[in-house]
């Protein structure tokens, strides 16, 4: 599980642990990760492993999987949740920012999937991979071209890799959250929740638990015949595609 020190990633981790899973988590913020691991290990002793670092780097991905194998002796699934959002005018967007978005959102997810698939294939018992896409990969959004490209690519990655993974009984799907209230979104925009709730057909924004519960379903036996799909979780926003006035 990458990008798991807060928000959606942390919520998925907690729900997995509640269901009895053993989880190795990663985040680039080592201090936040250490704090989270301390709390989780208190509640679920022996069921939490961790490795800090940039999830777009191959050595960090390899360490993450090695930690899982060393700590728990096996792997069953991976959730490529780490990602960054960089707003920017298309005409002014820098090569440095472009590379950063592509590396974290795409390279990290691609090679985490490759590495976990190799491990699952070696164990010959099947498994599941979840990629964290976005509804912004489905509909355009102002000043997010590079980001939206990566999220659309993750959905296509899930579809394409069915051909590579299905022979080994490995499923792969993507989740596309919409506006979700987290510490980060509240910090970036104090009225984030109210602004988005006003234009979402359901009348409310998502919370991390909404995404986590859907992720658990896709990782469960109940979803074993779902493969190559993208599950949109946005309260119906992508049906109409309106934007907050601010």
Question: 105-149 pLDDT, tens per residue?
Answer: 999 999 999 999 999 999 999 999 999 999 999 999 899 999 999
Q: Is the CB of residue 4 less than 8 Å from the CB of residue 28?
A: no
pLDDT tens for each residue of the chain, 246 residues long: 999 999 999 999 999 999 999 999 999 999 999 999 999 999 999 999 999 999 999 999 999 999 999 999 999 999 999 999 999 999 999 999 999 999 999 999 999 999 999 999 999 999 999 999 999 999 998 999 999 999 999 999 999 999 999 999 999 999 999 999 988 888 878 888 888 999 999 999 999 999 999 999 999 999 999 999 999 999 999 998 887 876
Question: Would you say residue 1 lies in a domain?
Answer: no
Catalytic residue numbers, as ranges: 133-134, 147, 151
Kindly report the number of other CB atoms within 10 A of residue 28's CB atom: 19
Question: Would you say residue 246 lies in a domain?
Answer: no
Question: Would you say residue 2 lies in a domain?
Answer: no
- Look-up of token digits 């009984």: 169
Question: Would you say residue 52 lies in a domain?
Answer: yes
Beta bridge partners of 132: 175
Residue 208 phi, psi (nearest 5)? -55, -35
CATH number of 32's domain = 3.40.50.720
Question: What is residue 190's predicted lDDT score, i.e. its pLDDT?
Answer: 81
The gap from C-alpha 176 to its chain's centroid, in whole angstroms, comes to 9
If we measure between CA atoms, which residue out of 28, 119, 40 comes closest to residue 81? 28
Question: 173-187 pLDDT, tens per residue?
Answer: 999 999 999 888 888
Question: What is residue 183's predicted lDDT score, i.e. its pLDDT?
Answer: 84
Question: Would you say residue 245 lies in a domain?
Answer: no
CA distances from 60 to 32, 63, 123 (A): 17, 5, 22
CA distances from 96 to 15, 92, 103 (A): 36, 11, 11
Tokens coding 14: 């907690």
Beta bridge partners of 107: none
**Count of domains forming the chain:** 1
CA distances from 232 to 108, 132, 154 (A): 21, 10, 13
What is the distance between the alpha carbons of residues 41 and 74, in angstroms, rounded to a whole number? 19
3-state secondary structure of 145: helix
Question: What is residue 119's predicted lDDT score, i.e. its pLDDT?
Answer: 96
Range of the domain at 22: 7-240
Q: Is the CB of residue 172 less than 8 Å from the CB of residue 121?
A: no
If we measure between CA atoms, which residue out of 62, 61, 58, 40 comes closest to residue 49? 40
Question: Would you say residue 205 lies in a domain?
Answer: yes
Question: Would you say residue 83 lies in a domain?
Answer: yes
Tokens coding 244: 């907050």
Question: What is residue 171's predicted lDDT score, i.e. its pLDDT?
Answer: 98
Question: Would you say residue 167 lies in a domain?
Answer: yes
């Amino acid at each position: 599980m990458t990008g798991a020190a807060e928000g959606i990633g942390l919520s998925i981790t907690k729900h997995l642990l509640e269901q009895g899973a053993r989880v190795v988590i990663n985040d680039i913020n080592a201090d936040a990760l250490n704090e989270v691991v301390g709390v989780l290990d208190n509640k679920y002793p022996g069921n939490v492993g961790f490795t800090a670092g940039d999830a777009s780097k191959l050595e960090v991905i390899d360490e993450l999987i090695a930690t899982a194998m060393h700590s728990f002796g096996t792997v069953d699934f991976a959730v490529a949740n780490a990602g960054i959002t960089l707003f920017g005018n298309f005409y002014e967007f820098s090569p440095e920012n472009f590379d950063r978005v592509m590396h974290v959102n795409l390279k990290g997810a691609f090679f985490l999937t490759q590495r976990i698939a190799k491990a699952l294939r070696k164990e010959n018992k099947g498994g599941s991979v979840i990629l964290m896409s976005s509804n912004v990969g489905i509909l355009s959004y102002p000043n997010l071209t590079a980001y939206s490209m990566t999220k659309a690519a993750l959905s296509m990655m899930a579809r394409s890799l069915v051909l590579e993974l299905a022979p080994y009984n490995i499923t792969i799907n993507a989740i596309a959250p919409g506006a979700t209230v987290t510490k980060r979104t509240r910090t970036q925009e104090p009225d984030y929740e109210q602004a988005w709730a006003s234009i979402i057909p359901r009348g409310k924004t998502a919370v991390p638990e909404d995404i986590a519960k859907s992720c658990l379903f896709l990782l469960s036996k109940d979803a074993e015949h779902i493969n190559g799909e993208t599950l949109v979780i946005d309260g119906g926003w992508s049906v109409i595609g309106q934007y907050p006035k601010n």
